[in-house]
Chains A and B, each alone.
Chain A
């Protein structure tokens, strides 16, 4: 019996810390995404419904995370808020990837004055506080999901552009590109066959890393009242609304959406970091040999 337990314990170290972290992060993320997908089916929510007889109830079996100052279930609204945040995060990261990828690819492949002009443009935009720039963009549009996506996407493509450009610059002078040119490959062939396939995984990684960042940005905009209309659940709206309840002793109204935000973005970041560590071809080669 003891021996059997010992062998089982000895087998455990195979679950290395990195992999354990990734497993936990993956599970958290899977639960979060599943809850977001199933919520409208399982627990439909009338976003504008309020119930003044149920205000600021402490967490209980009926309301696992309590209710807010308008008698709405905090946990359920947090899930709906997370839906919005993830949606904005993913689409904003995609907008950033498209713009950043295009700018980086142009600068990295054409070089010369195109590169200089584009990169100075990037430096100029990077010099402005991007939250301020994002506020400026949403302020010009009507408050909506699309405005928030644009605001976050348009201010977050700079690092992606830099990553794609530097990756292309370092690839351009590698001997295997010279070998391809010497073999008769034209510009397009070199770009599509040899350069882009090396850059795309990096671009995908940069985009995924951008999602938690974009989620935080969306939350910040909503917290400032510039995101979604106030009656719609969003993590930022909820944290902001909950501030009033804090003084009345209802700590759960802000804490729950805050915790959801932190846990989910951390899980996303951890999973991406794990992926990044396995993306290096040298690491991959070691695993395969």
Chain B
């Protein structure tokens, strides 16, 4: 396979003696939306963590735009890691309770050495994109709703302009209108940057509406 794509090639993963993925292939081309479904415990989240370069497969490998990724987490070069972003199911668990929403969104930029002023501008721009008011940006996670917090997580995920966005049940905890808005923001981003998107969900209707094709893990 050629061209720009994030791909898992024959990956296996296990937790202790429990094998959750057995030689799985998944291919997300640039600009494509892939749906991933499967019952609980079928390894959907594990696959997403492998693709996000957070977890090392027992065997097989993940390739990013044709280059095989070796190592995991801090061993992966920053330039590679920031090309893939992941959006988690629970925004509460995925945000540092000590930081304000503005700090949460700007954190990936600050961590990779962007000056504060530039990070602030980008944060304001993204907050506007995902629909967060300036007042909300000064609050901490416990003082905002799940929906508002997930919008901040989406802004954080987009802050490096990733080529691939992995949504791990990212809209499962949201109400219908927030869900639609989050999906619209992702869709718009995808069109503009021709990003590859992976949507993990239990919801067959959501996948049918959103994804170009659906892979079933069961």
| A:171-224 near B, CB below 8 Å | 174-176, 178-187, 189, 193-194, 197-198
Partner of B96, one of A182, A189, A194, A289: A194
Q: Does A127 contact B (CB under 8 A)?
A: no
User: How far is B155's CA from A183's CA once the two chains are assembled, in angstroms?
Assistant: 12
A184 contacts B81, CB within 8 Å? yes
Residue ID in chain B nearest A177 by CB atoms = B96
* Contact status B74-A187, CB under 8 Å: yes
When chains A and B are docked, how far (Å) is the Cα of A175 from the Cα of B49?
11
| Contact indicator A185/B111 (Cβ below 8 Å) | yes
> Which residues of A lie under 8 Å from residue B88 when comparing CB positions?
175, 178-179
Q: Which residues of chain A are within 8 angstroms of B90 by Cβ–Cβ distance?
A: 175
Partner of A184, one of B78, B93, B96: B78
The reply on B146 being an interface residue by CB < 8 A is: no
The docked-state distance in angstroms from the alpha carbon of A105 to that of B160 is 31
Residues of B within 8 A of A289 (CB): 142-143
B84 close to chain A: CB less than 8 A: yes
Q: Are the C-beta atoms of B78 and A186 separated by less than 8 Å?
A: yes
Instruction: Indicate if the CB atoms of A178 and B111 lie closer than 8 Å.
Output: no
Residues of B within 8 A of A175 (CB): 88, 90, 93-94
How far, in angstroms, from A181 to B25 measured CA to CA in the complex? 24
Among candidates A176, A183, A282, A288, residue contacting B82 with C-beta atoms closer than 8 Å:
A183
Q: Which A-chain residue is minimally distant from B81 (CB atoms)?
A: A184
Q: Mark A246-287, 1 if CB is under 8 A from B, else 0.
A: 000000000000000000000000000000000001101100
Q: Is B93 within 8 A of A185, CB to CB?
A: no
| Interchain CB contact (< 8 A) of A186 among B74, B95, B96, B107 | B74
Also in contact, A186 and B98, with CB within 8 A (given A175-B88, A181-B81) = no
A44-56 vs B, CB cutoff 8 Å, 1 = contact: the mask equals 0000000000000
Least Cβ–Cβ distance between B105 and chain A, in angstroms: 10
B residues near A193, Cβ cutoff 8 Å: 107, 111
A180–B143 Cα distance when bound, in Å, is 21
Q: Which of A176, A181, A183 contacts B160 (CB 8 A)?
A: A183
Number of A-B contacts (CB under 8 A): 76
The 8 A CB mask of B86-112 against A (1 = contact, 0 = none) is 101010011111100000000110011
A193 to B109, CA, bound (A): 13
Q: Does B29 make an interface contact (CB < 8 A)?
A: no
With A179-B86, A179-B153, A197-B98 as contacts: A186 and B111 at CB distance below 8 Å: yes
B98–A198 touching, CB < 8 Å: yes
Looking at A178, A189, A284, which has the most chain B CB atoms within 10 Å of its CB? Answer: A178
State the CA gap A174–B107 with chains docked (Å): 17
Chain B residue numbers with a CB within 8 Å of A183 are 82, 85, 107-108, 111-112, 156, 159-160
Most interface-central of A175, A178, A284 (chain B CB within 10 A): A175
Which residue, A174, A176, A185, A197, has most C-beta atoms of chain B within 10 A? A176
B111 touching A176 by the CB < 8 A rule? Answer: no
* Choice from A176, A182, A281 contacting B93 with Cβ under 8 Å: A176
Name the residue on B nearest A179 (C-beta): B94
B163 to chain A, nearest CB (A): 14
User: Smallest Cβ distance from A116 to chain B, in angstroms?
Assistant: 18
How far is it, in angstroms, between the C-alpha of A187 and the C-alpha of B73 when the chains are bound? 9
24 examples of A-B residue contacts, CB within 8 angstroms: A175-B88, A175-B90, A176-B94, A178-B52, A178-B54, A179-B88, A180-B107, A181-B54, A181-B73, A181-B81, A182-B53, A182-B85, A182-B86, A183-B85, A183-B112, A184-B112, A185-B108, A185-B111, A185-B112, A186-B111, A198-B98, A284-B142, A285-B142, A285-B143
Known: A176-B94, A183-B111. 17 other contacts (CB 8 A): A178-B52, A178-B88, A179-B86, A181-B74, A181-B81, A182-B54, A182-B85, A183-B107, A183-B159, A184-B81, A184-B108, A184-B112, A184-B160, A186-B78, A193-B111, A197-B98, A289-B142
Closest CB pairs A-B (n = 8): A183-B108, A285-B142, A185-B111, A184-B112, A175-B94, A175-B93, A184-B82, A184-B78
